[in-house]
Amino acid sequence: MYFELNVLVRRVAVRIRIDEIDKLIIRELARNSRITFRDLAEIVKLTDVAVIKRVRKLEKTGVIRKYTVIVDPRSLGYEHVSFTGINVKPEKLFDVVKALEGMECVKYLALTGGDHDILAVIWATTRGELEKVHREIEKLDGVIAVYPMVLTNVVKDELYV
């Protein structure tokens, strides 16, 4: 079984097919992006050359955007993490986004449809620092309301797979 996916490659829409083997490759790379092509080939039961071609296709088409390190915020001293919904006046949306992009403590930022206009993931070393950041966001021109959801416990951690 496969599914077709529309992606942008150099601003041109491209239709690619993603099958179960591609999904398995993506899952394995998400678990360990340092896995060798040989080990990956053994898992998906293909040759290493076939796996390399598939991975390169996934990279070229933007399905795999980058390989990165995922850190535990607490190990870096950030004891408080907040998923924060932010509602803004429509005409000020991009001004608020630009201001949030410039904040070092904002680690993830997305425009959303639903309850909030913006979702921000914020890291802070203390509860007081996190509250201060939320107050700063509330004061940004165009912000209507801030809805912090402070992370207390991660139950499942499977990013983007």
Same domain, yes or no, for 55 and 102? no
> What are the tens digits of pLDDT across the range 44-92?
999 999 999 999 999 999 999 999 888 889 999 999 999 999 999 999 9
pLDDT band at 17 (very low <50, low <70, confident <90, very high): confident
Rounded to the nearest 5 degrees, what angle is found at the Cα of 1, between the Cα atoms of 38 and 5?
85
Do 99 and 145 lie in one domain? The reply is yes
- Altogether, the residues listed in the chain come to a count of 161
- Same domain? For 80 and 53 the reply is no
When the pLDDT of each residue in the chain is averaged and rounded to a whole number, the result is 90
Is 159's pLDDT higher than 80? no
Number of folded domains that form the chain: 2
Distance CA 61, CA 26 (A): 13
Residue 125 falls inside a structural domain: yes
Q: Is the pLDDT of residue 6 over 90?
A: no
Q: Is 70 buried (19+), middle (13-18) or exposed (0-12) by CB count in 10 A? A: exposed
The CATH code of the domain that includes 121 is 3.30.70.920
- Please indicate, yes or no, whether residues 44 and 81 belong to a single structural domain of this protein: no
pTM for the model stands at 0.75
- The parent domain of residue 122 ranges over 74-150
In a domain, 155, yes or no: no
Q: Are 81 and 56 found together in one domain?
A: no
Residue 46 lies in a domain: yes
97 with 41, same domain? no
On whether residue 65 sits in a domain, the answer given is no
